[in-house]
Amino acid sequence: MVGKSRGQITDGLFTLNFYIPDTDIYAVDKILSQSCAESFAVSPKAFLLELKYLKGFTVKERRPYVRFRGGEMVMPISSGTYRTAVQCVGENRITFAFDLNKMIAALRQFKDEPSVQIKLNSAVSPFTIEAEGRSDLALVCPIKLDAKLMAA
């Protein structure tokens, strides 16, 4: 260390000088929106059960994408279009899509919770999954709603 905002690493032959930013590089609280356009609750166990049902049809799919609105899930893939639903508490009028495998991974951390809140602002902005009384969250990036997802 050279100073508060500068650093230096050397092995005797080479010296690397670098700048250390004053702000926390991983300040998640600063990048997450403090408000949301919609928030609804689901049971993570029930949601995972339905996602695993859809996953059973994706053996030959590289990227299974799911459209979600009002608890209804639609997954158009090469072998057909598959549908299922999960009960939501609260309104979900924004149609959004997600990668099936990434949503399963995000919900697994909450599998023992009775309920989680899904908070979103739009179909294209990342949404969060949170459980009451916990300090962690899952941040999920949505998939663009293309013609295939919208037509299904």
Q: Write the pLDDT tens digit of every residue in 47-88.
A: 999 999 999 999 888 889 999 999 999 999 999 999 999 999
The predicted pLDDT at position 131 comes to 96
Q: Which two tokens stand for residue 149?
A: 């997802």
Assign 27 a pLDDT band (cuts: 50, 70, 90): low
pTM recorded for the entire structure: 0.78
Assign 28 a pLDDT band (cuts: 50, 70, 90): low
Q: Write the pLDDT tens digit of every residue in 95-137.
A: 999 999 999 999 999 999 999 999 999 999 999 999 999 999 9
- Give the start-end residues of each E strand in the chain: 6-10, 15-19, 38-42, 65-69, 72-77, 80-85, 96-99, 116-120, 127-130, 137-140
Write down the residue that tokens 């009384």 correspond to.
133
